[in-house]
Amino acid sequence: MEKTLKMIQSVSSSCTKIDAADVMVSVDKKDLHKVCEALYKDGWDYLINLTAVDNVENIEIVYHISKSSDMEKFMVLKTNTTDVENPIIETVSDIWKSANLYEREAYDFFGVRFLNHPDMRRLFLRPDWVGYPLRKNYDNTPNEGIPSKVHDMDACEDVPSITLDRHGEIVENHTKLFGRNEYVVNFGPQHPSTHGVLHLRVSLEGETIKKIDPNFGYIHRGIEKMMESMTYPQMLFLTERLDYLCGSMNRHALCMCVEKAMGLEIPKRAEYIRTIFDELNRIASHLIGWACMCNDMGSITAFIYGMRDREKIMDIFQETAGGRLMTNYYVIGGVAQDIHPNFVNRVKEFIPYLRKMIKEYHTLFTGNPIARGRMINCGLLKKEDAIALGMSGPNGRASGWHCDVRKIAPYAAYSEVDFKEILHDGGDTIDRYMIRLEEIEESLKIIEQLIDKIPEGDFRAKVPAIVKVPAGEYYQRVENARGDFGVYLKSTGDKSPYRIKFRSPSMVAVSGLDPICRDTKIADLIMIGGSLDYVIPCIDR
C-alpha cells in the first residue's frame, strides 16, 4: 500500500494521508481526475462506492476503490469542495463506468454537479423537485402536496451537462435523451416483470433494442435521510426494508459496521447463528430469483415450485425469529433471542429435501430445450464490462470475476467453513441462471457444516443501553444474494449517524441493462432482467 501512496504523491502534490490503518487519502479537487487515472492504470479498476457528505462548511466526495485482480485491497479516496452554494467536481465516470449513476445520485441528493459528466439529470426525485434532500439544511418535514400529474414519461427529456470551454469557463449544455426519430417504448413502472417499480425507456429499431434509459425513484423512500435522525437500534429495522429478499444480510452489514466501530466482541454462538441465517436467506432469495426468472420466461410451474420450497425456510425463520419475510432477528451485539429448540432439526430436514428438489428443477426446467435455446448466448456480459460497471455478486461471477466478499474478506463464521466460490466464464443468461442454483447447493453445504457445531454460550454480547459509535468513518461489506452490499457510516460520536449510505448491488445490475441488452430483442429484455435479479427498493432506498 505504501507503493500506491507514493504513486499518488508523485501525481499530486496535494495528497495527504488521513488514516494509518486503512489507506485513506485526501486529494485536492484539482488533481482528482489525474489521481484517479493513475490509480486506474495501477490496477484499481473497481469503484465500489461513491458518496457525497455534507459537512456544512464543505461538501466531501468519498470514493471506495478496490482492485479486481486483488480484491482484498481496499482504499478510500476523498476530495472536497468548499463552494457549498454551487459545488462542482470533476467526473470520474469516464474512468469507472459505475461512477455514472453514483454521480447522478450525488447530484440528486446534494446538488453536486460533475464537470464533463454526460448526464446530469436527477436520478431519483422528480425533475420538478425543489432542493437537495440530504443536505443538512434541507427541511425534510413531510409536506402535504401530492403531485397529480405523471412526469418522466417524456422521451424528449432534456439532458443537462456541464463542460469547460477553451477559456476555462463553465458552460451548460443541453441535449435530448432520445432523438426525434427514435421509437421509444415505456416499460414500467407498473409491469409484472420489472421486479418492483422500475421504469425503463427502451429505444427500438423494429424489435431490436438500441438504447435503454432506466428511470429510478418510484420507490425512493428517503431511508438515508430518515436514518440521520434515528438511533442505531432503530435504524436496523429499515435495513431489512431495503432489499427485502435478503433482509438478514443487509441487517448483518449494519450490525457489523456498528459493532466493529464500537469494538464489540460478538459471541461465537451469535456468529454461527447469523451465518446460518444469512445462508438460509440467500437460499430463499435465490429461490425467488430463480422462480421469478422462470416465470418471466413463461414457466408458471417453476414459480409455484420455487415459492413452495421457500415457504419451508419461512417456517424455520418464523419459529426462531417470529417474522417471515422480515425476521428482525439480528441486533447490535448478537441476535435478539436464542434459537428455537426445533431449529437444528428443521434445518437438517430441510437440507436433503431441497437437494432433491434442485435435481427436480434441473430436470424440469434447466434441460428444457426451449429455455436453453433462449438463454444460451443471449445477454452476454464480458468480464471487463462487469468490472467496469462494478457488477459484483452472482452476475459478476457468471462472467468469471472472482468477487465473493465471503472469500475476499471473510466475516462471521465464513472463515471456518469450506465452500467453493462458483465461477462461470460464459457471462450469458444461462450462466447467470445456473450460478443461482449452484450457489444454493453451496449454501446448503455451508449450513451443513455449521448446524451441528453451533457453540454453547451467550447469543448476545453486553451492549450499552444507548449505542454510540465513536467519531470516524466506517465501511462494511457483506455478500448479499445480489452481490457486494456495503454500508458507509460517518459518525460524529453521537447516538445517530451523521451520514449513512448503502451501496446497492441492484443498482449496478440495472445500470448493466443498457450494455447487455443492446442489439438483443425486446422479448429477451424481460428474461435478461430476470437473470440479473435486481430488487428495486434497494436501488431507490
Among 2, 3, 56, 149, binds other proteins (CB under 8 A): 149
Number of residues that bind other proteins (CB under 8 A): 51
Among 249, 288, 375, 444, interactor with other proteins by CB under 8 A: 288
Comparing C-alpha atoms, which of 294, 331, 300, 253 is closest to residue 488?
253
CA separation for the pair 61, 103 (Å, rounded)? 10
CA distance 187 to 517: 14
Give the one residue of 148, 167, 263, 457 binding other proteins; rule: CB under 8 A: 148
The least CB distance from residue 314 to other proteins, in Å, is: 8
Minimum CB distance to other proteins smaller for 278 or for 442:
278
* Burial of 168 (C-beta count, 10 Å sphere; 0-12/13-18/19+): exposed
Cα gap 172→405, rounded to integer Å: 41
For the chain, the C-alpha Rg in angstroms (whole number) is 23
State the binding string over 302-321 for other proteins (x if CB under 8 A, else -).
Answer: -xxx-xx-xx--x-------
Q: Supply 501's cell numbers.
A: 449510505
Is residue 537 near other proteins by the rule CB under 8 A?
Answer: yes
Q: Residue 486 contacts by C-beta under 8 Å, 6 or more apart in sequence?
A: 48, 49, 64, 253, 475, 476, 477, 478, 502, 503
Which of 13, 137, 141, 181 forms a contact with other proteins (CB under 8 A)?
141
Q: Is 136 in the site for other proteins (CB under 8 A)?
A: no
Query: Does residue 363 bind other proteins (CB under 8 A)?
Result: no
Amino acid at residue number 148: S
Residue 40 engages other proteins in binding (rule: CB under 8 A): no
Query: How far apart, in whole angstroms, are the C-alpha atoms of residue 201 and residue 180?
Result: 14
* Residue 76: strand pairing partners: 24, 64
Asked whether 35 and 12 are in contact (CB, 8 A), the reply is yes
Q: Establish if 325 lies at the interface with other proteins (CB under 8 A).
A: yes
Confirm or reject binding of residue 367 to other proteins (CB under 8 A).
no
Handedness of CA 489, 490, 492, 496 (dihedral sign): negative
Under the binding rule (CB under 8 A), the answer on residue 336 touching other proteins is: no
Indicate which single residue of 87, 111, 214, 217 sits in contact with other proteins (rule: CB under 8 A).
Answer: 217
356 interacts with other proteins by CB under 8 A: no
Rounded to a whole number of angstroms, the minimum distance from the CB of residue 221 to other proteins is 5
Q: Which three cell numbers stand for residue 67?
A: 482492485
277 backbone φψ class: left, alpha, beta (φ>0; ψ -120 to 50)? alpha
CB of 143 to other proteins, least distance (A): 7
Q: Which stretch binds other proteins (CB under 8 A): 97-105, 214-222, 384-392, 476-484?
A: 214-222
DSSP secondary structure code for residue 78 in this structure? E
What's the min distance (Å) between Cβ of 220 and other proteins? 5
364 binds other proteins, rule: CB under 8 A: no
In the complex, the residues that contact other proteins under the rule CB under 8 A are 124-126, 133, 138, 140-143, 146-152, 189-192, 196-197, 217-223, 225-226, 229, 237-238, 241, 244-245, 288, 303-305, 307-308, 310-311, 314, 324-326, 536-537
